[in-house]
Structure 1
Amino acid sequence: MIFSCPDPALDPHFADKLLTLQREAYAVEADLIGDDRIPPLQEDHEAIAAPRVNWCTAWEGVDLLGAVSWHEHDDHLDIDKVMVSPSAHRRGIASELLAHVRDDAHGRDLVVSTGRDNAPAIKLYIKHGFQHVEDQEVPPGIWITRFRSS
């Protein structure tokens, strides 16, 4: 597996692959939480290339298997997205991507959220030392669970 840190704003081909991965990965979460109104499923090519965040991706040949994005603050990093292709689940890709973000944090806390009913993601974050912070309803009818790790 090869890890890289491309920028979708600079590479339209990568942005296309990233958007495909995002739709596949978040469709799984939508099924788990019973609602497809989650923001990553509403994004288009322009939206995924616009934000200036950090990306780390996992590739097997030309296949994009996983990606994580985050943005930095003085005292913590906000993990925006953790995505793994459904065809690559249970191979440790999300764990390796989280390890990359932790390395980049240089001792700062990590903050992440997921659907409250997304049991696999919650299990992943707890396994990696994240602690539950709060549950929040955003938008109405969709609940997220926020975690923090120091």
Structure 2
Amino acid sequence: MLITGISPDTDPLGAELLALQHASYTVEAEIIDDDRIPPLHESLEELRAQPLLWLGATDEDDRLVGAVAWEETAGEVDLNRLVVHPSALRQGIGRALVKEVMARAAGRRVVVSTGRDNAPARRLYERLGFVAAGEVEVIPGLWLANYTYPGA
């Protein structure tokens, strides 16, 4: 697996990234029994309009199998998206991507949210040392669990 910087503005990578995002969030929608996850319905134009930094993970065939996106300020890194292709789940791809962003945070606080009922994602963040920071109902019936990884 190779992790490199990517951009949804690059063709054909943008379309590949969007397909990966939709496939990944389809799995989460099934886990949490709710398909109202905004990135699940995002268009390529909407994806490209997001002010996000991206890393992608490719397999030995140079196929995009995972990606992570974040926003950052001087004091905080906000993990906005973590997507892994359904055929590549439970292979350490998500963990490697999150760890790379944590390393790039360079001592800043890292925050992330996931579906409250997404047990696999919650386990991943907890195993990486993230601490539960509450839950929020973002739209009626759709709950997120918030996590924080304290900075240095």
The TM-score normalised by the length of structure 1 is: 0.96
Q: Give the alignment of 1:49-128 within 5 angstroms.
A: 49-60=48-59, 61-128=61-128
Number of paired residues?
149
Q: Partners of 1:15 and 1:49 in 2: how far apart?
A: 8
Gapped regions of structure 1 (runs ≥ 5): none
CA offsets 1:18-51 (integer angstroms, 9 cap, x no match) = 0000011000100011110111112011011112
Gapped regions of structure 2 (runs ≥ 5): none
Q: What is the match of residue 45 of structure 1?
A: 44
Q: CA RMSD in A?
A: 0.8
- Partner of 1:21, secondary structure, is helix
Q: Which amino acid aligns with 2:89?
A: H
Q: Which amino acid aligns with 1:45?
A: L
Q: Kindly state the Cα deviation for residue 74 of structure 1 after the two structures are TM-superposed.
A: 1.8
CA offsets 1:103-128 (integer angstroms, 9 cap, x no match) = 11010011000000000000000000
Q: Give the alignment of 1:11-22 within 5 angstroms.
A: 11-22=10-21
Q: Partners of 1:34 and 1:71 in 2: how far apart?
A: 28
Q: Which amino acid aligns with 1:103?
A: A
Q: Kindly state the Cα deviation for residue 52 of structure 1 after the two structures are TM-superposed.
A: 2.4
- Partner of 1:5, secondary structure, is strand
CA offsets 1:45-77 (integer angstroms, 9 cap, x no match) = 101111221101000123110000000012110
Q: Partners of 2:49 and 2:134 in 1: how far apart?
A: 29
Q: Partners of 1:129 and 1:2 in 2: how far apart?
A: 24
Q: Partners of 2:122 and 2:99 in 1: how far apart?
A: 16
- Name segments (4+ residues, structure 1) moved above 6 Å: none
- Partner of 1:57, secondary structure, is strand
Q: What is the match of residue 29 of structure 1?
A: 28
Q: Which amino acid aligns with 2:100?
A: H
Q: Which amino acid aligns with 1:8?
A: P
Q: Partners of 2:50 and 2:85 in 1: how far apart?
A: 22
Q: Which amino acid aligns with 2:6?
A: P
The TM-score normalised by the length of structure 2 is: 0.95
The percentage of counterpart residues that share the same residue type is 42
